[in-house]
Structure 1
Amino acid sequence: MKSEKTIFHKTLIIDIETVPLTKHWNMLPEPLQHHWIHKTQFLYLNEIDLQQPNTVFESKAGIYAEFGKIVCIGLGYISKQDGQNVVRLKSIQNDNEKQLLEEFCDLLRQYEAQQKDFLFCGHNIKEFDIPYICRRLIINGLPLPSCLNISGLKPWQVNHLDTLELWRFGDYKSYVSLDLLAQVLQVPTSKNDIDGSEVAHIYWHEGDLGRIASYCLKDVYTTTLVMLKLKGWPDTLPEAHYV
């Protein structure tokens, strides 16, 4: 059986940043506009929000793969440098989602060639990041890499490390944010510049993809430290190294 340390060094930590497909709701293709209006009926909105589809679109659409797109994917992995463990961090960001996903898949193939039985890790990765990536790959007409071809598998057959799931300890009623988990575990938090609720505005109104990528990598690093804490990492927590 592999030691925990071996598993840590065969883990790819990822996080995605998503935004609405278009800057404004009325810029969507007309059929999607109608579907968005229908979608809002099930979002537990108040009457004012129901009458303002564009406001709700900017704040909510990015979390749905049918109405959003990925603008950044952050990746991290633990490796040795000068005898010390470090977290190597890299981001892929692109306004063109198809090109972004193609680059991501190329990186996955390279990583899989080096670490054939690697694991993905992320916060709420099983319910958000991985399904979102898979759906957007299909929408963009791209094949699923073998490591993401998990459709039809039973939950126990999907062995990604999910820090939210680890913290639940079987209690599926609860949700805890990455920031709160970082706070209680006393590791550096990524929420010292922006948070996820601001990403869409920064992307569509400020055009600052670099700032979004920086935030995304901080999330990846925080997730890595949270994972190590939850799994009983015995050494000093590794530093971040950007590549």
Structure 2
Amino acid sequence: MKNFRNTLFIDIETASGKGDFSQLSPKMQSLWLKKAKNLPNPDQLMLEDLYFQRAALYAEFGKIICIGMGFLFNDKEKGLSLKVKTIANDNENELLAEFIRFINDTYKNKELSLVAHNGKEFDFPYLCRRMLVNSLEIPKQLQLQGKKPWEVVHQDTMELWKFGDRKAYTSLELLVEILGIGEAKSNLSGDKVNETYYQLKDLKGISDYCQEDVVLVAQLFLRYNFQKTVEPQNIQLL
């Protein structure tokens, strides 16, 4: 097996910063309305209502509520194994601080490769932006300033599938299906996270969904590298 020791598979779940547009400050309401004018709105929603539907996608108006992390290792008896840990918290500052401690304590001065689906467009920049908003120092493993493109070791399983095609977005759900990797057991989907968080208050359900996505990203990454996927009994959920 290839050495993936310093490879960390991640997935984040985000929600709108507030549960309702009316809870925003007058200035933030104005700024959202200005941004929302240029967003796709196929249902022709009022821009105020579009906030609950779309704000979680933008680090300026959303927040991170869950981070899933997974890493591969060789078990002497079981063989290739995967450990997955999720952290979830209503307090974003505490959540990000815990993630930063994990990165700093576990990897210290090691070169860390983060892997996520659509990570380069979403997960990686979203994490860095929210750390900055929360006045938290971004771990050097996530900092990209001053690095040349070929010096960035982070990998994106969606980008890898493109093979140079810049047009299409391909979901994780579709890729794991056509490659026969498996499917998530959770009934939750990304577009339902905000509703699940604010209306159902089911952070545990969101955490489980995030956990499953981390497993699928790791399995997909292994397939890309022509490696056997991890057997279900060798997946440890922490």
TM class by smaller structure = over 0.9
Q: How does 1:199-218 map to 2 (within 5 A)?
A: 199-218=193-212
> TM-score scaled to structure 1, two decimals?
0.92
Say whether 1:118 aligns with 2:112.
Answer: yes
Aligned CA-pair RMSD: 1.6
Aligned residues: 235
Cα displacement (A) at 1:211 = 0.3
Unaligned runs of 5+ in 2: none
In the TM superposition, what whole-angstrom CA distance separates every residue of 1:196-236 from its partner, at most 9, and x where no partner exists?
00000000001110000000000000000001001111x35
User: In structure 2, what is the Cα distance between the partners aligned to 1:48 and 1:57?
Assistant: 13
Deviation track 1:62-103 (CA, whole Å, cap 9, x = no partner) reads 000000000000000001234321110000100000000000
CA distance in structure 2 between the partners assigned to 1:171 and 1:236 by the alignment: 26
- Given that 1:77 and 1:87 are in contact with CA atoms closer than 8 Å, whether structure 2 keeps it comes out as yes
The match for 2:128 is: 134
The question of 1:242 aligning with 2:233 is answered no
Answer whether contact 1:179 1:191 (CA < 8 A) is retained: no
CA distance in structure 2 between the partners assigned to 1:212 and 1:155 by the alignment? 33
Q: How much has 1:30 moved relative to structure 2? A: 1.3
Structure 1: unaligned runs, 5 residues or longer: none
**Structure 1 residue aligned with 2:83:** 88
Is 1:102 matched up with 2:79?
A: no
Q: Bigger shift: 159-168 or 208-217?
A: 159-168
Quote the offset at 1:169 in angstroms. Answer: 0.9
Identity %: 37
Report the Cα distance in structure 1 between the residues aligned to 2:207 and 2:146, rounded to whole angstroms. Answer: 32
Q: TM-score, normalised by structure 2?
A: 0.94
Name the structure with the higher helix share: 1
Q: Aligned with 2:199: secondary structure?
A: helix
- 23-32 or 99-108: bigger deviation: 23-32
Q: Residues of 1 paired with 2:138 and 2:80: CA distance?
A: 31
Given the alignment of the two structures, is residue 182 of structure 1 paired with residue 179 of structure 2, yes or no?
A: no
SS at match of 1:146: coil
Q: Is the 8 A contact 1:74 1:220 kept in 2?
A: yes
Secondary structure of the 2:41 match is coil
